[in-house]
Amino acid sequence: DMKVTQMPRYLIKRMGENVLLECGQDMSHETMYWYRQDPGLGLQLIYISYDVDSNSEGDIPKGYRVSRKKREHFSLILDSAKTNQTSVYFCASSVFSTGAHNQAPLFGEGTRLSVL
Amino acid sequence: KTQVEQSPQSLVVRQGENCVLQCNYSVTPDNHLRWFKQDTGKGLVSLTVLVHENDKTSNGRYSATLDKDAKHSTLHITATLLDDTATYICVVGDRGSALGRLHFGAGTQLIVIP
């Protein structure tokens, strides 16, 4: 069963704490993404990973870093979280040809992060 | 600057009615356009994808059109059900590979009432 799994689903942290969001997929997709979704805005790309240890910044990488040591696993790390990083974070995966009309990216259910 | 604009922002319809959601974009190049459905508290699920000029697609009660000249797409939902209550998101891909970017609209929130 094709699935992208995000853990945890809900997280509350204090400003300055470190945050680790985890994402796993079982399709052996090369490409994985981290997005954030804020009210009234479209999803914004934080980082994209093309394969193990092949990561690129997205449109809003500041304050975030990522790790991909296995193809099926992609982590998002917030070092010293800030209140403006309160958001819903989505992980997605796809085959390399993400734009191909026959391969939609598969999204996880999101992690709702509150930074107090 | 927002490159994908969706309208209306929100919409309330009665069960059984039809509705039309709009998507205008300025993304260039526009390789393809995809509509997603996002249930409350869930991830995005692809409904349909349009690739070519004047493409039309149909997926059950969902149908979509694309006018690449006008950079405009519509999503039609026929005979709405309560389960159609969700946010519908228009996404434009600027390339046919992961080297491209996906440009997301903010979504139209559809509420279907009995």
pLDDT in tens, A67-104: 999 999 999 999 999 999 999 999 999 887 555 556 78
A115 touches chain B (CB under 8 A): no
CB pair distance less than 8 Å for B89 and A40 = no
Query: What is the pLDDT, as a whole number, of residue B100?
Result: 80
By DSSP bridging, strand A87-94 and strand B44-50 are: unpaired
Cβ-nearest to A94 among B42, B44, B98: B98
CB pair distance less than 8 Å for B89 and A42 = yes
User: What percent of chain A has a predicted confidence (pLDDT) above 90?
Assistant: 84
- Closest residue on chain B to A37 (Cα): B106
Give dist(CA B24, CA B12) in Å, integer: 21
CB pair distance less than 8 Å for A42 and B34 = no
CB-based contact B34:B64 (threshold 8 Å): no
**Tens of pLDDT, residues B71-110:** 999 999 999 999 999 999 999 998 877 778 899 999 999 9
CB-based contact B25:B84 (threshold 8 Å): no
Question: By mean pLDDT, which of A6-10, A63-67, A95-99 is the weakest?
Answer: A95-99
Look at residues A23, A30, A31 and name the one whose alpha carbon lies nearest to residue A3: A23
CB pair distance less than 8 Å for B98 and A45 = no
**What mean pLDDT do residues A57-71 have?**
96
Query: What is the pLDDT, as a whole number, of residue B5?
Result: 97
Q: Is B69 exposed, middle or buried (0-12, 13-18, 19+ CB in 10 A)?
A: exposed
A4 touches chain B (CB under 8 A): yes
Query: What is the pLDDT, as a whole number, of residue A65?
Result: 97
**Tens of pLDDT, residues B34-44:** 999 999 999 99
CB pair distance less than 8 Å for B93 and A98 = yes
Query: What is the pLDDT, as a whole number, of residue A100?
Result: 56
Query: What is the pLDDT, as a whole number, of residue B16?
Result: 97
